[in-house]
Amino acid sequence: MDFALNAEQTTLQGVLREFLSERAGETAVRAQMAEPAGFDRQLWKRMGAEQGLQGLAVPEEYGGAGFTFVELGIVLEEMGRALTVSPFLASAVMAPQLFLALGDTEACERWLPGLASGDTVATVALAEDSGSWESGEVRLAARREGEGWVLDGHKSFVVDGAAADLVLVVARAEDGIGVFAVESSAEGLDRTPLPTMDQTRKLARLTFGGTPATRLVSTDAAAAVERMLDLTRIALAADALGGSGRVLDMSVEYAKVREQFGRPIGSFQAIKHMCANMLVELESSRSAVYYALWAAATGHEDTSVVAPMVKAHCVDAYLSAAGDNIQIHGGIGFTWEHPAHLYLKRAKSSQALLGGSDLHRRIVAERIGI
């Protein structure tokens, strides 16, 4: 019984930290920020070829490495730390987890190997202009046409929607909610990148006009979507953990060297306590994220309560730490040039994604019977 990463997991963490700092440092992050649908394709290829990251948690039978959600969480933490601009969340978490939750083996065989190798970039389109992430509020219509299905309507806030080669669309058919696979080349599909405050996480609006789609087989698509959302919530908490760790490091480094009144600002108790409080919250978030990753990895019954809980808690803690980091830096922390604002923005976009923290606490309330 160990509430800690094991030796291999710690090694993975170290390797990734080095890989990302070499291949995707701040300059690389900034280069991708300006491009509304951009991501570093070369980095993406390397992530697949050298590290096998995209397929880490995909079962071996579908071309992945068959590791668990814990290892995936370690990757997400490091990417959060480095602010990596890549469709990893969409293509290595949301889409594969939705495939797996639906349990359509034929579809898994057809698409998962491409996702696992990184050759295919995929995403999930759920929210619409209303901004709601509840499948019950999906309006986009699916109707039969001949042997197949066509989609009509729109999706918004689609993570990496403009870059994806494959979109899993949650739509409303006559018999209820279904998930439909649409390739980016499909007829009648129109994709517009959305300008976002957090330029490290790309969103897009998609419109469908009689767009042909393949319906994925499932006994309960709405439940599968919810399972995918829960895992994505945990993934966002892991990303937040990484970012929180980085902003604390930045604060401490700066507080040691910046002098005012003839002494390092880190010797003032107001600054010290701010840093120590960030540490308290960071490590408490770490305990929560590690537990959630383990719960997700083992299919523990706790997962559905813990997922929205850690999402709300950890992104809120991240946002607050990112704000404190700016405060500790003074004027320089308010500039475009300094990376402090990038973390504040990533924290805010993580908070908004899948619905804010108030919504997530409402979900927990329902799930624990309040």
Partner 1 sequence: MDLSLSPELADFQEEVRTWLDEHVVGEFARHRGVGFSWDAEAWDLRLAWDRELAAGGWLCMGWPHEYGGRDATVDQQLIFQLEYARADPPFRATTQGQDLFGPTLLHSGTAEQKARFLPPITRVEELWGQGFSEPSNGSDLAGLRTRARRDGDEWVIDGQKVWTSHGGYADWMYVLCRTDPEAPRHKGISMLVVPVDQPGVDVRWIRNSLGGDDFCEVFFNEARTRADLVVGEVNGGWGVAMGALGTERGTTLLAEHLRVQHEVREIIEAAKANGRTPDAALRQDLVQAWTDARIMEWNGRRLMSAIKGGSTTDPTTQASLSKVFASRAHTRIGETAMRAQDAASELVGADYSLNRLQQVFLGTRAESIFGGTTQVQLNVLSERTLGLPREPRPS
Cα–Cα distance between 117 and 45 in angstroms, integer?
A: 9
Q: Which is nearer to partner 1, 74 or 182 (by Cβ)? A: 74
Q: How far is the CB of 223 from partner 1 (least distance, A)?
A: 22
Smallest distance, Å, CB 261 to partner 1?
Answer: 11
One-character DSSP codes across 306-346: HHHHHHHHHHHHHHHHHHHHHHHHGGGGGSSSSTHHHHHHH
Q: How far is the CB of 47 from partner 1 (least distance, A)?
A: 23
Task: For partner 1, give the closer residue by CB, 131 or 299.
Answer: 299
Q: Output 51 or 285, the one with its CB closest to partner 1.
A: 285
- Which three-class secondary structure state does DSSP give residue 176? strand
In the bound complex, what is the minimum distance in angstroms from residue 97's beta carbon to partner 1? 19
Residue closer to partner 1 by CB (options 144, 256) is 256
Distance in Å, CB of 280 to partner 1, minimum = 5
Q: Name the residues that contact partner 1, by CB under 8 A.
A: 1-6, 9-10, 70, 252, 255-256, 263-264, 266-269, 271-273, 275-277, 279-281, 283-284, 286-288, 290-291, 293-294, 297-298, 306, 309, 312-313, 358, 361-362, 364-365, 368, 370
- Determine the Cα–Cα distance for residues 102 and 129; give it in Å rounded to an integer: 25
Query: Kind of pairing, strands 166-173 and 122-125?
Result: parallel
Strand partners for 215? 180
Q: Where are the alpha helices (DSSP H) in 24-139?
A: 26-33, 41-49, 69-82, 88, 95-102, 105-117
Side chain identity, residue 364 = V
Farthest CA pair distance, the chain: 79
Q: Taking the mean position of all CA atoms in its chain, how far away is CA 56?
A: 15
At closest approach, how far in Å is the CB of 355 from partner 1? 14
Residue placing its CB nearer to partner 1 in the complex, 219 or 269: 269
User: Measured from the CB atom, is 64 or 73 closer to partner 1?
Assistant: 73
Place of tokens 């990417």: 79
